[in-house]
Amino acid sequence: MSRLAIGSFRSIAARLFLTAAATSLVVLLVASILLTAYYRSEAEEVFERRLDVYLRAIVADVSESGQEGRTGPGQLGDPQFELPGSGWYWQITRLDDKSHDIKASRSLFAGTLPKLSDLGVAAEIGGFRRGYALGPDGRRLRIVERIIDVGDVGIYLVQVAGSGEEMEEQIARFRFALTVAFGALAIALAIGAAFQVHFGLRPMRQLQRELASIRRGERDRIMGKYPNEVAPLADELNLLISANRDILERARTQVGNLAHALKTPLSVVVNEADAAPGQLAQKVQEQAQIMRDQISFYLDRARAAARGGALGAATPVAPSIEALLRAFGKIYGDKGVVFSGDADPHLRFLGERQDLEEMIGNLLDNAGKWAKSRVTIEVSVDGGEASRPALRFTIDDDGPGLASHLRAAATQRGRRLDETKPGSGLGLSIVVDLAAAYGGSLQLDDSPNGGLRAELRLPGF
């Protein structure tokens, strides 16, 4: 099965439309076959009755007049018996005389009709025979014949034949008209099915838009009225969203309690070490500081993981970028580094503001440490999947850059490639972990300005 067919059957709308279209097509085909068969049966019956009427008229005329020559086509009321080769013929043959005199319609011209009795056709009740045979012009004729006994006058075989061409033409015209009518009906049914599917699935599209609004942070729950079949789903989703928020809130509370519970004893240990100077106290202070850094790092990761799973969080990008550029412009103003850049005011990050500012802040801080004169940031919409658009933050500096084989090590926790620069070595690793919590990524590359380029991709719109 092709990808197009598979993709179509994954769509409820396509399934409903194709099912309705296939059902309508089958019904129309069956109906057309049945109607054509019925019309053919009726046409053949009318054709047979017409032949019977002509035959009975000739038989009555021969019986009443007692002379076969008195029977003429004018009494039949059909001018086709006068036209040679018209396909309509009558013939009267005397059977009790050796001469077998024949009286025939002008349409037969010099030809004669074959006898059904000679062809092995059995007689019906009343002496009638019916069957098909080839006429004098090679056409297939429907022939009705009967033998009548007129007493002393003689015994006669009366035959009437007609071509089915006229009937077939009528059936062909009926079939054409039926095809046109059913074709128009099929188009109307397809349009009706498409409208029905579109109208019937409108609540599902509304529900999809509501969920997208929640994901973008525009709403905190599903609003609106839905049909009985969809309303329970909307209610369950609202309950799920509320439960998700409650779980995240409890997680944040527990993380805060844990941070407080660990930092207080560490502060006591550090204070006691300060009060007792010596090599042991120095070692305790050193290890305590490492523990503080580790606690802060993992608590930040836990908070980011909790916030990354939250629904409905959305942060405008432009205000955070402007605030960070002003702050770092002042911090590195004495060094002569200029921070510049802007962002579309309509862009939003699907996450918490503090996480966005922590990631961008760490990248700007790292760029400011190494830059000679300028740091730039550019924000754009990444051309990823349409269902999950992403924001791309590009930070460039004009510093010495970073060798490609050292870039992976630079994002490792606690790894400092240059001890002369201030910091704990956690900045880039925090960015990597925070971005991963939101389903994003960080990539380091060469900058067109000569230094290092950091590309941060995060969910947004």
Reported as a single tens digit per residue, the pLDDT across 86-117 is 888 888 888 887 766 788 888 888 888 998 88
Number of Cβ within a 10 Å radius of residue 28:
18
Phi, psi of 376 (to 5 degrees): -120, 150
Determine the Cα–Cα distance for residues 206 and 211; give it in Å rounded to an integer: 9
CA 202 to chain centroid: 15
The model's pLDDT over 407-453, given as tens digits with 9 standing for 90+, comes to 777 766 544 444 444 444 456 777 888 888 888 889 898 989 888 99
Cβ contact 436:399 at 8 Å: no
| Model pLDDT, residue 59 | 82
User: What SS3 class is residue 228?
Assistant: coil
Per-residue model confidence as pLDDT tens digits over 303-330: 665 555 555 567 889 999 999 999 999 9
Q: In what order do the strands lie in the sheet with 128-134?
A: 102-104, 88-94, 155-163, 140-149, 128-134
For the beta carbon of residue 450, count every other beta carbon within 10 angstroms. Answer: 13
Taking only the tens place, the pLDDT of each residue in 165-217 is: 888 888 999 999 999 999 999 999 989 888 988 888 888 888 888 887 777 66
Residues, the chain = 461
What pTM value is reported for the model? 0.52
Between CA 191 and CA 186 the distance in angstroms is 9
